[in-house]
Chain A
Amino acid sequence: MALNSNGTIVETAGLTKSYKGVNALKGLDLNVPKHSIFGFLGSNGSGKTTTIKLLLGLTQPTEGSASIFGLDSVDESLEIRKKVGYLGQDPRFFDNMTARETMRFRAGFYYTGPSMAIESRISEVLDLVGISDKSDRPVKGFSGGERQRLGIGQALINSPDLLILDEPAAALDPMGRRDVLDVMRSLKSETTIFYSTHILDDVQRVSDSVAILNHGNLLAQAPIEELLGGSGKTIYTIVLKGDSSEIQLRVMSKEWVESVDVSPSKEETILQVSVTDDKAAEAQLMRLISTDEHVTVSEFKRQEMDLEEAFINLVEQNDDN
């Protein structure tokens, strides 16, 4: 499998797409590492599907370029599509075809034979996505989840080096979502998965790299651990009973404390302590509070930033700017 110069599967440089003067995508610079499950995250209308269509040659960039396997997405699109599997956002197939016929039709674009081997491959993929018992039913009778499974199956028929999935779990119930995420995990050793979604929980469960898009702008791109590390700040939530005025001042005086938000309620006070040095806070904060005789600690927890928080922070910062 050919790679881009920096060892990535997908690389875009200043990729821009405008529709009637409106920029749907603004100078996207993206790098998707080989054998990663790359979550392409963004709210509706953020430019995720536009990016996927540009990668597949279904639409042309207004400016910039994209390369997959080191091949140009405009001039060498046909060669790229031989090695890519694709599932659209709202997958549509010929309603009168059965699932097996749909797979056979798709396989015909990649393989000429022998037919026994093609049929074997089709059965294997139908089994993998869990619809082998429905393989001879017309697609028009399929539920949304079954259609999605068929969509993933047809995207896998050519054993792609890159699997591009546009919102693969959006139409599924929780069990279906879990199954799809399991399939994605199982494929990681064989292929690179680039998938768009707005379901943050899914990204956190399966992705190893993430890019966040908002209004066509790339806000962040990093391995997920790095992104969740965010700015390096950690927040401690502390619930105190008693008079906490003195301890608030003592906490605030520490150089590793950035801010303290106080939320008084009837009998308790909730402190949200934002720290810049997590190690110092871990070592000293609890000890410091417990030395104050006027308060008792009823809750003390280190609040880790989850992806939702990271996402919202980045999007809100971008919207403010």
Chain B
Amino acid sequence: MTTNTQQLNRVNGQNWSAGLGNLSRMEVAKWVKSRQGLIHLGLWMLIINGLMAIIISTAGEELEAGQTIVSASIEPFIGITSWFTAIGVSVVAMGAIVGEKRSGIAAWILSAPVSRTSYFTSKFVVIGFFSVITMVVIPGLIVFAELSFIPSGAEVGEISILPWIASVGALALNVVFYLSLTLFLGTVLSSRGAVVGIPIGFVFAGMFLGGVLPEGIAQLTPWAVVSPLAMELAEGAKDVTSYVPAISSAVWSVALIGASIWRFNREEF
């Protein structure tokens, strides 16, 4: 070994963030370099924008009294996006931790000067960012553009950008919650099936139990908390209590992230 390694600048990080930059670059490369990001974007545009194109083009045919094409299109957009992206992000993230634990890659990475908090954080931040962009933000902006460019008429209705952004933000929160849940399960379980099955169970539990539970409790449960809020926000809701589901969802996400980091720091490899 002849290289004078003194020419090389040593990494100095010693705390919780040791290895974070290198791990994050690697996670980003998985989305960008392997074209995973483009594939996801294409898939989500096909699902969300494809379905919405059909819905918008036919919405004018069966309008109820007082309904416009815009208002008739918002509900399916929120429904499709919240359900499909909750399942989608769970599938995307299911192997992120449990897969690497089982294959031995996690142990290999953690044998380098890497903190376990960095390992978890890099996955959460990068998967979260690309999932939100490809599943919610870009499809949401395209739907906004589709609704904005419908030739004007009395039955079309109006759409404003700020409520729409708020609504898309609520849908992004939904993605973050399901990502937090899936990654948390990856830290405590060793089966990919369970890691993806439980969040999908939550999605369906929300469908069936959301309407059964008293409203006050339903707003605090970790499922289906965001869809009604996203709808109200898109329609320009001003009621302060509307934001309870958002706060609840954010608190659940933070709790799951904290629990994941705590658990992962105690993982035995």
Contacts and interface: CB of A to CB of B under 8 A. Distances in A.
Given A60-B268, A78-B18, A110 B112 contact: yes
Contacts of A90: 104
Interface in A262-282: none
B111 interface: yes
Most buried by B among A105, A109, A159, A190: A109
B245 interface: no
A128 B1 contact: yes
Given A59-B268, A81-B111, A88-B108, A111 B11 contact: yes
B108 A92 contact: yes
Interface in A81-123: 81-82, 84, 86, 88, 90-94, 96, 105-106, 108-114, 117-118, 120-121
Contacts of A94: 26, 105
A13 B143 CA distance: 65
B107 A88 contact: yes
A: interface residue count bin: 35 or more
B1 A124 contact: yes
B263 interface: no
Contacts of B3: 117, 120-121, 124, 159
B152 interface: no
A108 B22 contact: yes
Contact of A78 (B8, B14, B108, B269): B14
A56 B114 CA distance: 12
A82 B111 CA distance: 9
B105 A78 contact: no
A53 interface: yes
A212 to B, nearest CB: 25
A111 B8 contact: yes
A90 to B, nearest CB: 6
A58 B269 contact: yes
A190 B1 contact: yes
A156 interface: yes
Contact of A53 (B2, B10, B11, B269): B269
A41 interface: no
Contacts of B103: 92
Nearest to A89: B104
A76 to B, nearest CB: 9
B11 A110 contact: yes
Interface in B89-124: 103-105, 107-108, 110-115
Contact of A109 (B1, B5, B19): B19
Given A58-B111, A78-B14, A114-B9, A88 B104 contact: yes
Nearest to A191: B1
Nearest to A164: B111
B43 to A, nearest CB: 19
Contacts of A113: 8-9
B112 A106 contact: yes
B111 A111 contact: no
A184 interface: no
B108 A111 contact: no
Contacts of B241: none
B10 to A, nearest CB: 6
Given A93-B105, A117-B3, 12 more contacts: A58-B107, A78-B115, A82-B113, A84-B111, A88-B107, A92-B108, A108-B21, A109-B11, A109-B112, A110-B112, A114-B7, A121-B3
Interface of A: 53, 56-60, 78-79, 81-82, 84, 86, 88, 90-94, 96, 105-106, 108-114, 117-118, 120-121, 124-125, 128, 156, 158-159, 187, 190
7 contacts: A53-B107, A57-B110, A58-B111, A105-B26, A110-B113, A111-B9, A158-B5
Interface of B: 1-3, 5, 7-11, 14, 18-19, 21-22, 25-26, 34, 103-105, 107-108, 110-115, 268-269
- A-B residue pairs, 4 tightest by C-beta: A108-B22, A109-B112, A58-B269, A86-B111
